[in-house]
Amino acid sequence: MTGEWKDNIIRWVLPKAVTCWPLPDEPETVAFLDGPVVLAGLVGEERMLYGDIRKPEEFIKPANERLWNYWTGDYRTFNQPVGFYLRPISQIGDETYTVYFPVRPTK
């Protein structure tokens, strides 16, 4: 945007969504991103997920949990054999986590 600006307010809204980022040599193994933020699974071992990597919203959704006065930004899996939480990697402290998950089509 070019021009002369004075006392103007510009609001720029960029929608974000959870997406899958596959490994180049293993396209069935993916990382999950919330916009540009990597989500880490709070698990100590590899977990197989089932779903369509083009539609991660069908098996990952916001956890809708609050920590005092703010939303956590966590997600959780659903419609899976074993559920777990995903958290923005920048918010991981001493927890055990993994970033890449094998995803297979739903049976």
Q: Which domain holds residue 48?
A: 18-104
Confirm whether 75 is domain-assigned: yes
Q: State mean pLDDT over 83-99.
A: 93
Whether the model clears a pTM of 0.85, i.e. scores above it, the answer is: no
Confirm whether 68 is domain-assigned: yes
Confirm whether 76 is domain-assigned: yes
pLDDT band at 103 (very low <50, low <70, confident <90, very high): very high
Contact (Cβ atoms closer than 8 angstroms) between residue 32 and residue 84: no
pLDDT at 98: 95
Confirm whether 54 is domain-assigned: yes
Confirm whether 6 is domain-assigned: no
pLDDT band at 60 (very low <50, low <70, confident <90, very high): very high
Confirm whether 96 is domain-assigned: yes
Q: How many domains does the chain have?
A: 1
**Other C-beta atoms within 10 Å of 29: how many?**
15
Question: Is the predicted pLDDT of residue 15 greater than 80, yes or no?
Answer: no
Contact (Cβ atoms closer than 8 angstroms) between residue 37 and residue 90: yes
Contact (Cβ atoms closer than 8 angstroms) between residue 86 and residue 55: no
